Amino acid sequence: MHIDVLEEDTLVRVGWVDVWVSLYWEDAYRTMGRFTLEVRPTPENLSLLREGRWLKRSDSDLPMRICDRSQQDQDAPFVCSGFAATWLLTRRVSTTIIKDQPAEAAMRQLVADMAPWPRLELGQAGGFDTRFDKRTSSGSVYEYCETIAAACDLGFRIRLTGKGRSKKLLFEVYRPTADPNHRYSTAWGTLTSLGWRFADTDYANVAIVQGAGEGEDRATVTVGDTAAAGSARREIYVDARDVQPDEKKGETAQSASYLTRLADRGGKKLLEQLRTGVIEFDPEDEGLHPGDVLRVQIPEMGYRATVRVAAVILQSQADRTTCTTRLGTPVWTKY
């Protein structure tokens, strides 16, 4: 394996790296992948590895952008780091309101409408009909895509295609289907170097949102799983005073349209208050990719889950390369 280095706007290859001190490379499903590359501080490396240039592994079509370079002292390794190509979506902003519409179409339209980025185009549509039934607005195009993807079990990426001066960056929405052969368990010896962490500290399923007004007259809505009770009910308070009635449209603090906007704010906040869970393991095979669906059993914990691969991490150091699979937050089912 080697790493091609491409010019920022033209995507023309200007060199490559095939020797390094260490490499960390994380490809992710619906969050931003990242990398860290340590090399010897030779004049060639210092000149080649510049901010803005793209890195592409010879065994992958998912490029990373160099965002940061550093060196602690003259004899220390030269370190560059950065993020997956979806990083560029953080540099584009939209104020479009996305609500109750096909998720893939919405994400593709956001990218199509943003200010052009050199050589970025839409890839082939996946044809997913999943609808985004929440509401989101005003933020970076990346934040839009991350919110919509998380709510609709979709992934998004930017791939590099083509050769020479015809290279392109293609934005795609994707969702791999389940493979019945992807079954893993500690009992079968297919979950090795297993590590895990789960938390529900910030989890909430009900949002109480307040907007315009004072005291008992203040506009208030409750959204989420409002039927939940007892320990299953987890509430958060959302101060949405910044969302004011549109007087030009005749809205008041009790108008149905205004209360709907407050409910949308609460729904968006709940999307951020999820249970978190991470499982990492070294797979027997190296054929897993972000988004793949795995059936996982951990008998000693008394749980099993069907869950997507959240990230695939390659680490290379001292002539040793390991590949670790990180699973997303699973919906656990007890045995």
**Which of 298, 280, 281, 295 has the alpha carbon at shortest distance from 335?**
298
Torsion of CA 312, 118, 3, 32, to 10 degrees: -20
Question: Residue 207: pLDDT above 80?
Answer: yes
Which pLDDT does position 90 carry in this prediction? 98
pTM score:
0.84
Which pLDDT does position 27 carry in this prediction? 97
The confidence band for 330, taking pLDDT boundaries of 50, 70 and 90, is low
- Of 333 and 36, more confident: 36
Share the mean pLDDT of the chain.
91
SS3 250: coil
Work out the average pLDDT over 70-75: 87
- In angstroms, the CA 147 to CA 214 distance is 31
Q: What is the pLDDT of residues 181-195, one digit of tens each?
A: 888 888 888 878 888
**Which of 264, 268, 263, 209 has the alpha carbon at shortest distance from 241?**
209
Residue 101: other Cβ atoms inside 10 A = 14
Question: Residue 219: pLDDT above 70?
Answer: yes
Q: What is the pLDDT of residues 82-126, one digit of tens each?
A: 999 999 999 999 999 898 899 999 999 999 999 999 999 999 999
Which pLDDT does position 285 carry in this prediction? 64
**Which of 198, 176, 334, 175 has the alpha carbon at shortest distance from 274?**
198
Task: Locate 194 and state its tokens.
Answer: 């297993």
Question: Residue 128: pLDDT above 60?
Answer: yes
Torsion of CA 149, 150, 153, 157, to 10 degrees: 40
- Of 278 and 26, more confident: 26
Question: Residue 335: pLDDT above 60?
Answer: no
- In angstroms, the CA 92 to CA 115 distance is 7
- Of 113 and 282, more confident: 113
Report phi then psi at 5, rounded to 5.
Answer: -110, 125
**Which of 26, 83, 66, 1 has the alpha carbon at shortest distance from 289?**
26
- In angstroms, the CA 106 to CA 86 distance is 16
